[in-house]
């Protein structure tokens, strides 16, 4: 983020948003200005509700939370189609899952479904604005009431996602700081899905996320901490063939020739595995 990006504008008439933004501003240092008060606000990123969805408009791009990807995945899971993320993290009901890179929370929602009401998911996001947008979106998913005209499987998928939100706690923080504060073997699985080191083609939904997200590579100390904190495994999602798997000590078991990504695993249940 450059200097300009540390200021966001909002509509003065949106009282609810104003209160939330004042809190965000106090916590994160992001400056907020009402868009009708300053001509300087022209060209600033704007946060506002569009069709009841909180939306960050910037440079002609819109960043907002929509659980469409999680919904599609949920429908497939209900139809019995394997989900590669779920295969990689291998969660069981009741597990404690740490999603170290929440982003737009598609994996967060799917993991929350997998651990169920006796499990828990802690989702960590270091970008204050992404955390703000996604937390608002998850609150809306929680209150979702399916419309009558939805197909049975789609309605069921919405219900599952809505229920799944109950075991999610989100936090705006750097994941390394969170890991450092956790006791040994206190969660079952830690998961990293960082911004890819090399982006071949950017989709229109990824472009705005990229601008506001944390682009830093993972460091070895963070993975060491994740191995200390996990009981079962640490998982990394990366672009297929990424040198990050080897650099950080992950083993890619199930390669999928049709997918541009792979999941690397450090299996902590095997004697001798762990961070080298
Ligand atoms: C590729 S996205 C994750 C997508 C996510 N798995 C999903 O299903 O939507 C990566 C996210 O991790 C966040 N991130 C990167 N480094 C981080 C860190 N050190 N601590 C917390 N979050 C981080 C980025 O800001 C970005 O939002």
Question: Do 74 and 44 fall into the same domain?
Answer: no
Among 39-53, 103-117, 200-214, the range with the most confident prediction by mean pLDDT is: 103-117
Distance CA 153, CA 172 (A): 33
Pocket test for ligand 1, best of 5, 113, 125, 134 (most atoms within 8 A of CB): 125
* 276 found inside a domain: no
Query: Is the predicted pLDDT of residue 219 greater than 60, yes or no?
Result: yes
Q: What is the pLDDT of residue 204?
A: 60
Question: Do 85 and 155 fall into the same domain?
Answer: yes
> For residue 142, what is the DSSP state?
H
Neighbours of 60 (CB within 10 A): 6
Confidence bin at 111 (pLDDT 50/70/90): very high
Q: Residue 145 sits in a domain of what CATH number?
A: 3.40.50.150
Cα dist from 110 to 135, 137, 187, whole Å: 16, 15, 17
Q: What is the pLDDT of residue 4?
A: 44
Question: Do 151 and 83 fall into the same domain?
Answer: yes
Instruction: Tell me which residue range forms the domain holding 45.
Output: 4-50
**Higher pLDDT, residue 274 or 208:** 208
Question: Do 25 and 144 fall into the same domain?
Answer: no
Confidence bin at 113 (pLDDT 50/70/90): very high
Question: Do 226 and 145 fall into the same domain?
Answer: yes
Distance CA 164, CA 138 (A): 10
Question: Do 14 and 115 fall into the same domain?
Answer: no
Question: Do 23 and 76 fall into the same domain?
Answer: no
Is 225 touching ligand 1 by the criterion CB < 6 Å? no
Q: What is the mean pLDDT of residues 208-236?
A: 94
Question: Do 169 and 42 fall into the same domain?
Answer: no
Going by C-alpha positions, the residue among 58, 61, 54, 5 that lies closest to residue 32 is 5
Is 121 touching ligand 1 by the criterion CB < 6 Å? no
pLDDT in tens, 45-96: 888 888 888 889 888 888 989 898 999 999 999 999 999 999 999 999 999 9
Query: Is the predicted pLDDT of residue 141 greater than 90, yes or no?
Result: yes
* 58 found inside a domain: no
Distance CA 136, CA 6 (A): 20
- pLDDT above 90 as % of the chain: 61
Task: Indicate the angle between helix axes 106-115 and 68-78, nearest 10 degrees.
Answer: 40
Question: Do 96 and 27 fall into the same domain?
Answer: no
Confidence bin at 2 (pLDDT 50/70/90): very low
Phi/psi of residue 43, nearest 5 degrees: 85, -5
Atom of ligand 1 nearest to the CA of 103: 27
Q: What is the mean pLDDT of residues 220-228?
A: 98
For residue 75, the CA-to-ligand 1 centroid distance in Å is 24
Which token pair is 248? 């950080």
pLDDT in tens, 114-126: 999 999 999 999 9
**Higher pLDDT, residue 147 or 198:** 147
Q: What is the pLDDT of residue 53?
A: 84
Q: What is the mean pLDDT of residues 37-46?
A: 70
Question: Do 22 and 140 fall into the same domain?
Answer: no
Tell me if residue 248 falls in helix, strand or coil: helix
Q: Is 246 exposed, middle or buried (0-12, 13-18, 19+ CB in 10 A)?
A: exposed
* 96 found inside a domain: yes
Question: Do 203 and 250 fall into the same domain?
Answer: yes
Confidence bin at 211 (pLDDT 50/70/90): confident
Q: What is the pLDDT of residue 276?
A: 59
Is 216 touching ligand 1 by the criterion CB < 6 Å? yes
Atom of ligand 1 nearest to the CA of 176: 19
Question: Do 18 and 73 fall into the same domain?
Answer: no
Q: What is the mean pLDDT of residues 19-38?
A: 85
Is 124 touching ligand 1 by the criterion CB < 6 Å? yes
List the residue whose alpha carbon is closest to atom 12 of ligand 1: 101
Query: Is the predicted pLDDT of residue 236 greater than 90, yes or no?
Result: yes
Pocket test for ligand 1, best of 126, 199, 207, 225 (most atoms within 8 A of CB): 126
Distance CA 200, CA 191 (A): 23
Q: What is the pLDDT of residue 43?
A: 74
Q: Which of 41-45, 58-62, 240-244 has the weakest average pLDDT?
A: 41-45
Query: How many structural domains comprise the chain?
Result: 2
Pocket test for ligand 1, best of 69, 101, 174, 196 (most atoms within 8 A of CB): 101
Q: What is the pLDDT of residue 3?
A: 39
Average pLDDT, the chain: 89
pLDDT in tens, 154-207: 999 999 999 999 999 999 999 999 999 999 999 999 999 999 765 655 566 567
């Amino acid at each position: 983020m450059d200097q300009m990006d540390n200021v966001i504008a909002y509509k003065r008439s949106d009282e609810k948003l104003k209160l939330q933004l004042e809190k965000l501003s106090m916590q994160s240092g992001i400056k907020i200005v009402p868009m009708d008060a300053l001509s300087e606000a022209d060209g600033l990123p704007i946060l506002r509700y569009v069709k009841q969805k909180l939306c960050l408009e910037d440079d002609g791009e819109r960043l907002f939370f929509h659980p469409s990807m999680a919904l599609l995945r949920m429908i497939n899971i209900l139809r019995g189609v394997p989900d590669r993320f779920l295969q990689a993290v291998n969660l069981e009901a009741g597990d404690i899952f740490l999603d170290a890179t929440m982003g737009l929370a598609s994996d967060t929602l799917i993991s929350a479904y997998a651990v169920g009401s006796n499990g828990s998911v802690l989702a960590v996001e270091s970008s204050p604005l992404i955390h703000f947008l996604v937390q608002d979106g998850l609150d809306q998913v929680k209150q979702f009431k399916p419309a009558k005209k939805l197909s049975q499987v789609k309605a069921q998928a919405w219900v599952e996602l809505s229920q799944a939100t109950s075991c999610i706690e989100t936090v705006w923080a750097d994941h390394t700081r969170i890991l450092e504060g956790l006791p040994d073997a206190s969660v079952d699985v830690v998961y990293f899905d960082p911004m890819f080191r090399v982006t071949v083609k950017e989709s229109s939904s990824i472009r705005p996320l990229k601008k506001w997200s944390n682009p830093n590579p993972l460091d070895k100390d963070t993975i060491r901490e994740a191995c200390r904190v996990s009981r079962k495994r640490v998982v990394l999602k990366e672009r297929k063939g990424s040198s990050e798997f080897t650099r950080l000590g992950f083993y890619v078991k199930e390669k999928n020739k049709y997918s541009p990504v792979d999941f690397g695993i450090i299996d902590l249940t095997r004697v001798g595995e762990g961070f080298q």
